A and B are shown apart, each in its own frame.
Chain A
Amino acid sequence: MSDDTGHDPKKSRRDMLKAIGVGAGLLLLPIGRVKADKDDKTADPDYDWEKHYWGYAVDTTKCIGCLACMRACRAENDVPAGYVRTWVERYSISADGTVRVDCAKDEMKGFEEVKDEPVKSFFVPKICNHCEKSVCNQVCPVGAAYRTKDGVVLVDTQRCIGCGYCVQACPYGSRFINPTTHTADKCTLCYHRITKGMQPACVQACPKGARIFGDLADKKSPLSILLRQRRYRLLKPEMGTHPKCYYIGLDREVI
């Protein structure tokens, strides 16, 4: 059936639908999808990331708050002033139960004396927990936040657009937007060191052995042995992030 202009609407509708169908079909063709380059090694030839699963432990009973770890991290990783990849908190709990938490204003000057009378006071060093189910990876819109096969949560600074969603998402305050590179930044567990058999800068710098780094895949590593011997806790386990940083000697008040 056609109208005065000789145009058959039913036919034109069918034609349009056909065109759409063909178009949709075209979408499923492999249009120029370049396959992943299999020769491109993602690790140095000597380092096999399948063989390791890195973890970290913090012994808060040993920390003296000297901040050698913060200084080492800043020098090692060129951390911009005003931001931290690792830090140390000081908790002071007074007799009536009030909790006071603070960080040193300046790691070159250390913690200052405070005129208070706590019944309990201790230091808690903190780093990125390199969670197994990290929220930061979940919320990155462009796939710039990822976890390597050896368990380290990293940022792809080439793809990061600097939206800051991961910074908001981290429940532990480990991430920040680097004011120089304008991308997300965080503790990398000194990936450039641990893949060469060295220890992270903070672990090496600690004079008291309050920071322990090791291979969770190796049952005989110092870290694995420590975790079998001591009682430890995770930070904010209720978040369901499965952090891989284990804290020994944590008190109830530690957030």
Chain B
Amino acid sequence: MIKLTRVFKTFDGGSSYAVKDLSLTVDVGETLVLLGSSGCGKTTTLKMINRLIEPTQGIIEVGGKNVMDHNPVDLRRQIGYVFQGIGLFPHMTIEQNVEIVPRLLGWSIRSRRERMQELLEIVGLPAESFAQRFPDELSGGQQQRVGVARALAANPAYLLMDEPFGALDALTREALQQELLTLKNQLKKTIVFVTHDLHEALLIGDRIAILHEGNLEQIGTKEDILDTPATQFVQDLFTIKRQGTLI
């Protein structure tokens, strides 16, 4: 379980807040989507969960323990992270990229190898043809699959995904979204997923948290939000969406 209690974050000593008085809970096995436009504080929130950024005020708990009481390196090794810009290491092969966290954790070469093959299988990139390649030899979609495999490598209970499909073309994005849905049902991870794409949020999220200028506008299931928008901002967001699409 991930729990945020009255979390604030300011980067300029208090003149403005990237995150303001944010409280929310992500239940075990649940996928929570943080939805909002750029600058709303969603990525900052995500990074505070694994201490890439530290909160100015408030408490963040992962698995019942305040993250500030964790050793940040150990904490990060327990949380899978899929980066916005993919973030694969260009000088390492796909194999080396996938097994990096198990390597940091000191797994044996053999169990690392087995895990790597298993994971590449799961994300649809058979090891025999992909393990020895380098990231720049793969398409964007394939690279992001590797990014997901890397995040899952040490079998973490938590997965943070920062707009993982943002840079992909529409077709690839849709395919990967479907795969993620399957994966999610299969693996039962606790996932926090950041996006600015309404459609993606509705598709993937068990619950959705809508952020605007650092404030939490509403948090709830797809139905809650569509049926009873809590604020004018949320209502406008979905009105515009409805007019434009078939939802």
Please determine whether chains A and B interact with each other in the same assembly: no
* Residues of A near any B CB (own CB < 8 A): none
Interface residues of B (CB under 8 A from A): none
